[in-house]
Amino acid sequence: MTKTIEHKALVELGARHVKQLGFPVIATELRAWGTNEEADVIGFRASSSILIEAKCSRSDFLADARKPVRSAGGLGVYRFYLCPANLIQAEEVPDRWGLLWVQGKKVVSVKAPRGNLWPPYDPSPDSGDWSHFMHEPSLKAERAVLFSIARRRSLSRTEEKYEAAVHRANLTADRLARANDSLANENRDLALKLSLATLGANSEPNAVARPSRAIPRRRIRRADDLTG
């Protein structure tokens, strides 16, 4: 594993850690209808759930920690950030969040409840130390995720490969759309500079540069558009 741990490697370590904690139903980087949240790692047991968000940079962590869903609703009764050692400090995580570090190929608890009970959501003092790490999750969002997991497990191998291909195609389409927007902006900037340069080089005192034609922005079609 390289010194700078990639996001994919963090997610894999996080999923393995969640399984070791006793959450048998696990999904990684899952999108589901009914919630805009895409959990890096989500795990379920009979009466509880756990969420892990993997972060490779401080800028990504700081932006993520400001999301409203991190403090109200969202996925997971228990929630953790997972990062390379020392990237995030315990006092920086949002209220009731835990923190896990990756050291080598091991996941180390920096801020977490003691024991391995993982009781269901109950913020009363009777829950002891666990109540300090509990969130009231969005039941609608968690149902949507559980349905998505169950649906995936019921698919045939061919259907599973098809859905994975669609997901990859959508990611590529999103990336190309962003690249297309960036190139369109660059083209407009270059056209403006050319127009100004032409105006400055023209010897006629009353010459006015012709406005450049707008560069059309092409829409990148997602796989969803093709199958819908």
pLDDT in tens, 104-135: 889 999 999 998 999 999 877 676 789 999 99
Q: What pTM, to 2 d.p., does this model score?
A: 0.66
Are residue 43 and residue 147 in the same domain, yes or no? yes
Residue 2 counted as domain residue: no
Are residue 32 and residue 133 in the same domain, yes or no? yes
Q: 185-215 pLDDT, tens per residue? A: 888 889 888 888 888 766 555 544 455 455 5
Mean pLDDT, consecutive 10-residue stretches, the chain (228 aa), reads: 70 96 94 85 96 95 91 92 96 96 94 93 79 93 92 70 71 83 87 85 54 54 54
Are residue 44 and residue 114 in the same domain, yes or no? yes
Are residue 65 and residue 134 in the same domain, yes or no? yes
The region, left, alpha or beta by phi > 0 then psi within -120 to 50, assigned to residue 118 is left
How many Cα atoms within 13 Å fall on the side-chain side of residue 145? 29
Are residue 106 and residue 120 in the same domain, yes or no? yes
pLDDT (0 to 100) of residue 48? 95
Domain boundary residue, one of 125, 154, 183: 154
Question: Residue 183 sits in which domain range?
Answer: 158-227
Are residue 26 and residue 136 in the same domain, yes or no? yes
Are residue 135 and residue 174 in the same domain, yes or no? no
Are residue 193 and residue 113 in the same domain, yes or no? no
Are residue 46 and residue 82 in the same domain, yes or no? yes
| Total count of domains within the chain | 2
Residue 26 counted as domain residue: yes
